[in-house]
Structure 1
Amino acid sequence: MSITIKDIAKLANVSHTTVSRALNDSPLINEETKKKIKIIASQLKYIPNYNAKNLVLHKSNTIGLFFSSINQGTSPTFFFQIIKGVNSIIKEDYNLVVRGIDTYKDFTVIDNKRFDGIILMSQSDNDNAFIYHILQTKIPLVVLNREMSNTSLVNILSDDRKGAFKAVEYLIENGHRDIAIIEGKEEFKSSKERKEGYIEALMNYKIPLNVEYIVKGNYDMESGYQCMKKLIKLEKMPTSVFCSNDDMAIGAIKAVNDSGFNVPQDISIIGFDDIDFCKYTAPALTTVKRPMEAISILGSKTLLDLLNKKTCKNKKLYINTELVIRDSVRQLSEKI
């Protein structure tokens, strides 16, 4: 037979309300009484009924980690880094539910009885309806990865545009002028930001934009492979390619090799994200490090602060990208 709060109350000669408050460290109970009750509870090996406790406290002990989509455009490495970062912070304090927004036909099933807080890895403007629903339900929310104009939202992201600019600038500094881009998934905000960084770098160095050098990928290795095949078949093949993520860059390297060319002797390639595989490709991939695990860790800590009623000083936080130079870019001339 399991021990209940009423059993502890009888032995301590107090009300069951006092026992409940003492076990939850309520400031309404003095320390001597708390200590007495906790000793009795320990001796009886009392196990709290968390379901009943959560009903009283109106808590689910569940945090939702939502992606725009898990199946479309979210690379396995990206997915793993985010879950790893979030899980390292919430640990055993909460259950973690991972879902894609695109699997829901109706958002009304997402309410504050099911979720204490939500972390959204937002990849698309299409997420706005979901964000609006969460704001209406008043579930604490932290949005990662996509810049939001709503000043009431806590927003943590990296500057993808600046990171893309650095990557293309590095190619230009190494003498490249015929620079192509393999874009990411069209509706994803990151794709737009990285393309804008690419164009800005070309404009800044007065390099004409060649529309043939702009090809649309899908953030996966297969699309990187197929897009590179198209670029290789052009009458004037580019000397370098900026890939909007590392998965596509890995696919692009294979396409170059399969076509009888060499990276970086014939075509230089730069990726974006700095996934673990970058160090082990042949050649090792030069890329832009976007610290997604760090972003998800900071997002999780911020959400826990919100759940503990702490005020967030900064509503919008940027984590810098970093160019990681390895072996996939060839210097064509003296650096400018």
Structure 2
Amino acid sequence: MTLKDIAKEANVSVMTVSNVINKKYSKVSLDTIKRVNKIIAKHNYTPNMTARSLSQKSSKIVAVIISICEGDEQENYLENPFVSTIIGITENLLRQNGYYTMVCSIQSFEEIMKLLDDWNLDGIMFLTPVYIREIENYSSKIKCPVLIFDGELSCKDVISIIADDEKGLYLSTNYLVQNGHKHIAFVANYKGNALLTRRFNGYVKALNENGITINKDYILEHSPNYEEGIIVGKYISSQLKEVTAVVTTADICAIGIMEGAKLNGYDIPNDLSVIGFDNLKLCSYVTPKLSSISQQIDNKTKIGINTLIKCMNGKKDIEKSIVIDVSLIERQSVINLKNQTE
């Protein structure tokens, strides 16, 4: 079954059939639309997407690109609940708007350029990208709209959406101080990572404002994942016993820290208070329930993707530099030391 076959059976032109398939109804009568759609349904006709891509110069494909760090080549990034949550929301929203999601991981900027050469993409979303400066310098040569998720760019042609990361760690650190904690550790390998550095700056700002001297021994430069969190939890509970609280840059790391400390006999939060970042659903699945910084992941993703869709549809004068507010979600993983001394 081809467009010509449908046109012949419906007694209309091929152009009319094409207009119906592409929902260009302005020049087609309602009776003709119903007649053509009935024939399409009867024959289970599916348009050839490759042909449509060539004729319309639109593939309806949006690439979601995940950067792989050196040494993580074998890692399954979809096991990370933060990544899988964002991709799930992205795919759902793109599908509702008639687009297809292509998820791919890259290890170098050269792979990004090859991807752009090999595929006719309608849009690109970089999820927590590593090659920010390269993307910024190359953006003028990218022919489709680009969304940088969790990356801050000065380039006006690229959509960038971030959370107020510094405020997030300021809130979590300050909250611990207000609950009587003075020996507070920070966990993340922030050096060279703009996002984690912004969060580290929030930690430093809160300590400075409260007159607490920054102890370099409390800055634990570990990757903010579950496995490294366990290592940190074990270390704090055996080597840094004066530390009463920890702020992290990811919920999954915070959960690992709680587990590592528990393995050494710690009671959470009585022996160690912990605050995460992201406010993923799994915060309510652990014991005790994890207090966390909410960066409104659902809303953040929807705003970013909707802005990308507007750009793909040719909309102009759109705000492309977006900062999402954050808030502290209190649960059960922090103890008030002031209550213990009263």
Aligned to 1:240: 245
CA contact (8 A) 1:123 1:190 kept: no
CA contact (8 A) 2:225 2:253 kept: yes
Question: Residues 84, 40 of structure 1: CA spacing in aligned structure 2 closer, same or farther, 3 A cutoff?
Answer: closer
AA at the equivalent of 2:14: H
Q: How big is the shift at 1:202?
A: 0.4
CA contact (8 A) 2:224 2:253 kept: yes
**Per-residue deviation, residues 105-151 of structure 1 (Å, max 9, x unmatched):** 43332237431111111343x33324544541221111111221112
Larger RCO, structure (CA 8 Å, separation 6 or more): 1
Aligned to 1:278: 283
Query: What SS does the corresponding residue of 1:177 show, helix, strand or coil?
Result: coil
Segments of 5+ residues of structure 1 without an aligned counterpart are: none
Aligned equivalent of 2:82, options 60, 70, 78: 78
Does 1:42 find its partner at 2:38? yes
CA contact (8 A) 1:184 1:244 kept: no
CA contact (8 A) 2:6 2:39 kept: no
Query: What SS does the corresponding residue of 2:243 show, helix, strand or coil?
Result: coil
Q: How big is the shift at 1:24?
A: 3.5
CA contact (8 A) 1:107 1:130 kept: no
- Distance (whole Å) between structure 2 residues aligned to residue 37 and residue 245 of structure 1: 51
Aligned to 2:123: 117
Aligned to 2:63: 64
Q: How big is the shift at 1:21?
A: 4.2
Query: What SS does the corresponding residue of 2:334 show, helix, strand or coil?
Result: coil
Does 1:289 find its partner at 2:287? no
Question: Residues 98, 187 of structure 1: CA spacing in aligned structure 2 closer, same or farther, 3 A cutoff?
Answer: farther
More deviation, 150-159/212-221: 150-159
Q: How big is the shift at 1:8?
A: 4.7
**Per-residue deviation, residues 236-279 of structure 1 (Å, max 9, x unmatched):** 62111112211221121122222222222122111111222221
CA contact (8 A) 1:123 1:188 kept: no
Q: What TM-score results when the alignment is normalised by the length of structure 1?
A: 0.87
Question: Residues 59, 210 of structure 1: CA spacing in aligned structure 2 closer, same or farther, 3 A cutoff?
Answer: same
Query: What SS does the corresponding residue of 1:241 show, helix, strand or coil?
Result: strand
**Per-residue deviation, residues 173-205 of structure 1 (Å, max 9, x unmatched):** 011111111114644332111111000000111
AA at the equivalent of 1:5: L
More deviation, 310-319/83-92: 310-319
Aligned to 2:94: 90
More deviation, 18-27/45-54: 18-27
CA contact (8 A) 2:10 2:35 kept: no
Question: Residues 184, 25 of structure 1: CA spacing in aligned structure 2 closer, same or farther, 3 A cutoff?
Answer: same
More deviation, 161-170/280-289: 280-289
More deviation, 102-111/235-244: 102-111
More deviation, 106-115/12-21: 12-21
Does 1:261 find its partner at 2:266? yes
More deviation, 105-114/196-205: 105-114
Question: Residues 9, 283 of structure 1: CA spacing in aligned structure 2 closer, same or farther, 3 A cutoff?
Answer: closer
- Distance (whole Å) between structure 2 residues aligned to residue 196 and residue 15 of structure 1: 64
Q: How does 1:305-324 map to 2 (within 5 A)?
A: 305-311=310-316, 313-324=318-329
Query: What SS does the corresponding residue of 1:264 show, helix, strand or coil?
Result: coil
Q: How big is the shift at 1:37?
A: 6.3
CA contact (8 A) 1:111 1:139 kept: no
More deviation, 266-275/99-108: 99-108
Aligned to 1:150: 155
Does 1:99 find its partner at 2:104? yes
More deviation, 140-149/184-193: 184-193
CA contact (8 A) 2:132 2:151 kept: no
Question: Residues 184, 321 of structure 1: CA spacing in aligned structure 2 closer, same or farther, 3 A cutoff?
Answer: farther
Q: How big is the shift at 1:36?
A: 2.9
CA RMSD of aligned residues (A): 2.8
Segments of 5+ residues of structure 2 without an aligned counterpart are: none
Q: How big is the shift at 1:212?
A: 0.7
CA contact (8 A) 2:251 2:292 kept: yes
Q: What TM-score results when the alignment is normalised by the length of structure 2?
A: 0.85
- Distance (whole Å) between structure 1 residues aligned to residue 327 and residue 104 of structure 2: 29
Question: Residues 285, 142 of structure 1: CA spacing in aligned structure 2 closer, same or farther, 3 A cutoff?
Answer: same
Does 1:222 find its partner at 2:221? no
What is the percent sequence identity of the aligned residues? Answer: 28
- Distance (whole Å) between structure 1 residues aligned to residue 238 and residue 199 of structure 2: 24
Aligned to 1:141: 146
Question: Residues 230, 43 of structure 1: CA spacing in aligned structure 2 closer, same or farther, 3 A cutoff?
Answer: closer
AA at the equivalent of 1:43: I
